[in-house]
Amino acid sequence: MSQLPTQRRERLLTLLRSRGALRVREVAAELGVSQPTVRRDLALLAERGLITRAHGGAVAVNARRSVDRGQSGSPSWVIGMVAPSLDYYFPAVAQGAKAVADAAGARLVLRGSEYDPTADREQVGMLIARTGVHGLLIAPELRAEGSSDLLRWLDSLSIPVVLVERQPPLDHHVEQLQWVASDHRRGGAAAVEHLHAQGHRWIGMFGIDNITGAQVAQGWRAALSTHGIDPTEQLSGPMGSFHRNGARSSVIDEVVERVRQGTLTALIVQPDPDAIALLQRCSEAGIRVPQDLAVVAYDDEVASMGEPALTAVRPAKHHVGRMAMEVLLARLRQGAESPLQQLLVRPQLAVRESSVGHIGRT
């Protein structure tokens, strides 16, 4: 039995209060009515001041946020962003997103999370329930238990979602999710290609034990294999061990031993602050860079200030943030007419003193 118009509108209000925003196409299918019927209901509710119309749907009325019209005539959206860290890497991404939001008359609300799917979901829920955001940028945790459920939930939200510096696994089907991410696999491969061109055949890697580090390592392994170099014979490991006092000396000892044996002539280190710390330890141990060991940092926040200045793979973090916001705003403006965008941005290689001027031993 079909609902009466008043019942249907009450249902729309209930859905709006719980979700923060609705899309006409999705809610029409959910209620089993036509899209024109939903549009008429939303128009009536908007006239009564109970909701706020938005392109392709509606958002809940919120005293802290309303869809006003600025001098340019553009909607003033509120965009939520959830990042796993607010002290490294993601601040630059957020600044890029904010620059585009500011230019569009939108407001960016940033929340810090943890590398945990449950924490990610809690932060998103608060942005929807308390702030009433129109769209979401998020860098979710994709390797922990519950990550698949988190992706499915994000994909089901009634507001547009763009993943930032994240891609769903290839075997995870998505309907509406978009993403903009650095192509860290190619970044890792670019470091290898540079060192290989310098004559190096023993190219090790120390990286971070996270999603980015895993992707960099994949690129490192693939590029080595392309050149017929066995990755399993190279020195590698998590950079986290370098920060444990008991393990630090053993890491340096192994680097020194490998260099003297001729089974390590180049090293990729992620992130660049750790690469600088490694430079210091190498100097103390009598290893010259780049004469004895070429070093390439992955990331370029402080690499240029090393002694010697570090060659670095530079993810375009600010650009990734800008692109992610542009993709999200396009979805808000055009609704389903905006094609889904899933973009990769290739990192750049900044060549400096730490990796040139010496042909590696074979």
Q: What is the pLDDT of residues 279-290, one digit of tens each?
A: 998 999 999 999
pLDDT confidence of 205, banded at 50, 70, 90?
Answer: very high
Quote the pLDDT of residue 66: 42
Averaged pLDDT of the chain: 88
Cβ atoms of residues 329 and 102 within 8 Å: no
Dihedral pair phi/psi, residue 349, rounded to 5°: -110, 120
One fold for both 5-60 and 184-315+349-355? Answer: no
Q: What is the mean pLDDT of residues 82-105?
A: 94
CATH topology of domain 5-60: Arc Repressor Mutant, subunit A (1.10.10)
pTM for the whole structure: 0.77
Nearest to 138 by CA among 177, 187, 96, 176: 177
Query: 113, 120 in Cβ contact below 8 A?
Result: yes
Structure tokens at 36: 């024109």
SS3 state at 60: strand
- The hierarchical CATH code for the domain 78-183+318-346 is 3.40.50.2300
pLDDT class of 89 with cuts at 50, 70, 90: very high
pLDDT of the residue at 251:
80
Q: Decide: residue 6, CB within 10 A, 0-12 exposed, 13-18 middle, 19+ buried.
A: exposed
Domain definitions of the chain by residue range: 5-60, 78-183+318-346, 184-315+349-355
From the candidate CATH numbers 3.40.50.2300, 1.10.10.10, 3.30.420.130, 3.65.10.10, the one assigned to the domain spanning 184-315+349-355: 3.40.50.2300
**pLDDT, mean of residues 282-305:** 95
